[in-house]
A = this chain, B = another copy of it.
Amino acid sequence: MTRTALVKPGMCGPNSLFVGEVGDWTWDTVSALCGTNAFDARNAAGDPTYLSFYYFHVRGSRDLHVNALTFGDELEVTSRLFGFGSESVLALHRIGRDGAQAGPLDPDRFYAFDDPGSIYVETFNRWIARSAPGSNEGLVKSSPVDFRHEHLPTLPGAYSPRRVYSHARSTGTFLDRKPDDPVTFTADYPVEPSRDLNGVGLLYFASYFSIIDWALLRFWRHRGFSVADFLGRVVLDQRLCYLGNANADSVLRLRLECWPAATNENAKENANENANENENEEIVNLVMEDRGRTIAVSTLHLLRRGDTDGDA
């Protein structure tokens, strides 16, 4: 499925509007290809069921990344679904400006992530329903009766997101192994009922990105970096696994660990012609908890740029 998209104020900026838009593209694609209206789906009991985000992976480059998008950019979006049974579905979105990689979306090419003119997004979604009215905890699996998936292609096993998110769920990171000696930072975020919830009262999947950015900004300030430095960051890669939702009165604890990227020196010495002297690659790992219950794990690979040296 391909579409062109004109970037509008409601889908860009240093906020989570673009990931929200991509999420809508996943639901659009499922609605177009799987026989069910993802925006108004019901399970066998007649209750609403939601195509909730379980794993979200965004990959950009120095040339094109989420925060670089602005009004008037014209995007070519190619989306493809892969079958994972009746309970879940994987969507791949290749998003490029004019002249980016064109043609059908092939998994081997997608997972090579080798086109710096494209943003690559993977979303793995599961059908879930509330188990108790009014509560955002204890959500349960629940497919709509008319969801068709048998015709979807199978993703080559090497790319299965299940291995990736299972590792994140059990270890609290998407890294194979966390390096020693992290810089650590902890912040508490009260869920904001005036902006974090979605149209059915659940904590909106895109709000998790905003909450992570909120913590990241405080971590950068803590180290003496400026708001301009923060706004100038390049997120090369972000993985996010959603393990739970939260109620509107929750206070979330964000535990952050940070390391210089192991590739820093290589990146400067070797092939990367775009790297500049004021650029630092960092790995950030975040765990989001609601009263001790882990509700999300995210690992970012980002570039810190700008003139400020910080205090640290």
Contact = CB atoms under 8 A, between A and B. Distances in A.
Interface string A60-86: 000000000111100000000000000
A132 interface: no
A208 interface: no
A127 to B, nearest CB: 14
Contact of A72 (B39, B70, B72, B195): B39
A200 B14 contact: no
A223 interface: no
Contacts of A213: 194-195
Chain A, interface size category, equals 35 or more
Interface stretch (A1-9, A88-96, A237-245): A1-9
Given A8-B24, A193-B231, A227-B193, A198 B72 contact: no
B21 A198 contact: no
Contacts of A11: 10
A10 B15 contact: no
23 contacts: A7-B199, A8-B24, A9-B24, A9-B27, A9-B205, A9-B206, A10-B11, A10-B17, A13-B198, A13-B199, A14-B197, A15-B195, A15-B198, A15-B204, A37-B72, A69-B199, A192-B214, A193-B230, A193-B231, A194-B213, A194-B217, A195-B195, A195-B214
Interface of A: 6-17, 20-21, 23-24, 27-28, 37, 39-40, 50, 69-72, 192-201, 204-206, 210, 213-214, 216-217, 227, 230-231, 248-249
